[in-house]
Amino acid sequence: MKSSARILATFLAATLTAAAGSPPMDFYAAVAMTKAQKNSSTPTDSGLYRREADGRWVHFGPRILGIGSVAAQPGHPAVLLIASADGVVRSTDAGRTWRKTTGWEVLDVRSIAFDPLNPLQVYAATQWGPIRSDDAGANWTPAHAGLAKLYSQTVIADRTRSGRVLIGTEDGIYESADAARTWTRVATSPATTVLRLAQSGANGQLLLAGTQHRGAWLSRDGGLTWQQTDPASATANLYAAALNPHDAAVMAVGGWNAGVRVSNDGGATWTDRTAGLPVKHIFVLAFDPVTPGRLWASTFEEGTFYSDDLGRTWHEGGLYGAYGFDYIFIPAP
């Protein structure tokens, strides 16, 4: 999904600086603590948690309900944008201070994607329609033109072509070639709600989508055409989709009652790798850009887990009780 786009952007940045040594990366999880939510419409805690070197998760940034993700400006990691129910919240000093940069009209922001080739250009998927910023998130404008239905929760900025954006809506995948000023439906995408979009960091032509009731979909031509993949999960609600930035052939999807499913042959075959997890309900998956091959999985309320052998064995990673929305890797400022 968009986390992949960010992983990709940050990975590229990391690659560029590799000569100077391995760049430090911060690992964030956007979650709501719902496990202990009783007699209440609000979770006991929510927001962004950052994983410390010792494995502890520490709350980061403002405590706002409904935080879906966070994004960092490529090349300027001190500029952070939080996607929240209250709108977009921006920091220009690595999280020391924050400012809401959207008005009352913007709500339920679920994901944010910077254009890796034009870091001033940002897109956000909201459940009431996408929005766009031309100044790195300081100001925003609606970006609805051409959309049949406005609901969206996942967006990626094509890392291979500036100004090209793909968004998952209630009506399938839409594409924009003009920085979200106009949208066109991708004809071969499934006519259902697209829950997660991801672009490969190893091969920009490779994209993966998780959908509601229609399973996993794969594109090998940069999102121009899509084909369903993994017949075993063909009717599942897949909330998670991830592509290994170190190996284009390796990918994973996960969903409700679908567990974790992985492919190491570019989507030709898929294998269930749920054994060892406490539940089969998966909301987020991400390949670690720092530790090649490591796969992170967020279960519904039963914690975060990671695997270094593509899901054959899993290790507890904390955040018990969390309902996860996204994993984000960002270069440390």
Q: How far is the CB of 215 from other proteins (least distance, A)?
A: 14
Does the footprint of other proteins cover residue 108 (CB under 8 A)?
A: yes
- Of the candidates 120, 31, 104, 34, the one whose C-alpha atom is nearest the C-alpha of residue 70 is 31
Indicate which single residue of 5, 281, 295, 306 sits in contact with other proteins (rule: CB under 8 A).
281
**Should residue 37 be labelled a site residue for other proteins when binding is judged by CB under 8 A?**
yes
Comparing CB distances to other proteins, the nearer of 11 and 183 is 183
Does the footprint of other proteins cover residue 320 (CB under 8 A)? Answer: no
- Residue 146: CB atoms within 10 A of its CB come to 14
Contact 91, 79 (CB under 8 A): yes
For 104, other C-beta atoms within 10 Å of its C-beta total 7
- Give the whole-angstrom CA distance, residue 295 versus residue 259: 14
Q: Is 12 helix (H, G, I), strand (E, B) or coil?
A: helix
Rounded Cα distance, 45 and 286, in Å:
23
Considering the complex, what minimum distance in angstroms separates the CB of residue 107 from other proteins?
8
- Distance of closest approach, residue 98 Cβ to other proteins, in angstroms: 5
Residues for the chain: how many in total?
333
Name residues whose C-beta falls within 8 Å of residue 197's C-beta, 6 or more positions apart in sequence: 1, 2, 4, 154, 155, 156, 166, 167, 168, 173, 207, 208, 209, 241
Whole-angstrom Cα distance, residue 168 to residue 303? 27
Site string for other proteins, 196-225 (x = CB under 8 A): ----------------x-------------
What is the residue whose two structure tokens read 């994004």?
Answer: 71
Q: Residue 106 and residue 114: Cα distance in Å, rounded?
A: 18
Residues 142-171 that bind other proteins (CB under 8 A): 142, 144, 149-151, 170
Residue 237 binds other proteins (CB under 8 A) = yes
198: tokens are 């991801």
Site for other proteins contains 182 (CB under 8 A): no
192 binds other proteins (CB under 8 A): no
> Least CB distance from residue 126 to other proteins, whole Å?
9
DSSP-assigned letter for residue 24: P
Q: In angstroms, what is the minimal distance from the CB of 167 to other proteins?
A: 14
From 15-23, 39-47, 174-182, 226-234, span contacting other proteins (CB under 8 A): 39-47
Chain residues that interact with other proteins, rule: CB under 8 A: 34, 37-42, 62-66, 85-86, 89, 97-100, 103-105, 108, 110, 127-129, 142, 144, 149-151, 170, 193, 195, 212, 237, 239, 256-257, 281, 283, 300, 323
